Amino acid sequence: MPSGPAAVRICALAAGVVLAAAAAAPAATLDDRVYAVARQLLCPVCRGQTVAESDSTVAREMRAVIRRKLAAGETPAQVLRYFVGQFGDSVLAEPPRRGVSWILYAGPFAALACGLALAASRIRRWARASPPAPETPPAVDPADLDRLARDLDALER
């Protein structure tokens, strides 16, 4: 790796390339930003639809509010906080990661970990178990053998 002035020139060239690529990338339009925020909000009157998907009057009004607030310079987080203040956390398409809602995020991983631990425990127990002892035939009573022999003789006649 070069050192000294050559390294500085290489770093400056790399930084210039990155900045030029960032400047050439198209900036998100206001419509894109409105859509991105609207995707994060559930329509209060439509079941299971986001504000971006819904065509209800309420959803159209919410998109208009989003547009006005973003055009006024508010950040998407501020717009989301505004709607949470109006409708509560239920307006968010993704539940907030705090309080009891952590169960929604951690629950599946905890269940998977418990299931794997249980399976490993059962497999270890099964692998350690000694094979069952072979069964010994029951003791035969000599009187039974005599009766069997008589019955076989009677069948042969």
Give the pLDDT score at 117. Answer: 94
d(CA 38, CA 80): 9
63: left (phi over 0), alpha (psi -120 to 50) or beta: alpha
d(CA 49, CA 79): 19
Q: Which amino acid is at 104?
A: L
Give the pLDDT score at 27. Answer: 59
DSSP 6-36: HHHHHHHHHHHHHHHHHHHSPPPPHHHHHHH
pTM of the predicted structure, to 2 decimals: 0.51
157 residues of the chain, pLDDT tens digit each: 555 565 556 655 655 555 555 555 455 798 899 999 999 999 989 888 999 999 999 999 999 999 999 999 999 999 999 999 998 888 988 877 777 667 777 888 888 999 999 999 999 888 888 777 778 888 888 898 899 899 998 988 7
Give the pLDDT score at 14. Answer: 58
Where b means 16+ CB within 10 Å and e means fewer, 59-96 reads beebbebbbebbeeebeeeebbeebeeeeeeebbeeee
